């Protein structure tokens, strides 16, 4: 895993376009990680988990806390059956 500053992307765009490792992109001024870049082969392995998490993040306001907890509990049980 490597950490680069956002300004490094301009100097070496291959960090983003052809990542060989997990790359953390850090805000150059605040020194806070803002983005993560995965090699595509890794993404293919974790795609379902990433898409599920993204769905929950995008729809967290639509679900109450109780409904979200129930959904996560059901999802764990469903994963056990796969």
Over residues 67-80, the pLDDT tens digits come to: 777 777 776 665 55
Taking only the tens place, the pLDDT of each residue in 19-77 is 999 999 998 888 899 999 999 999 999 998 888 888 888 877 776 778 777 777 776 66
pLDDT for the residue numbered 70: 79
Quick check: 20 and 43 in contact, CB under 8 A? no
pTM over 0.85: no
Rounded (5°) CA angle 4-1-50: 100
Going from N- to C-terminal start, the domains of the chain cover 2-37, 41-81
Structure-block tokens of residue 38: 């995965």
Give the single-character DSSP code of 20.
S
Would you say 43 and 23 are in contact if contact means Cβ atoms under 8 Å apart? Answer: no
């Amino acid at each position: 895993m490597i950490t680069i500053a956002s300004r490094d992307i301009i100097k070496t765009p291959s960090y983003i376009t052809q990542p060989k490792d997990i790359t953390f992109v850090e805000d150059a001024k605040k020194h806070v990680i803002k983005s993560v870049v995965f090699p595509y082969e890794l993404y293919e392995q974790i795609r379902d988990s990433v898409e599920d998490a993204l769905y929950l993040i995008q729809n967290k306001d639509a679900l109450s806390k109780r409904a979200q907890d129930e959904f996560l509990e059901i999802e764990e049980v469903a994963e056990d059956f796969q």
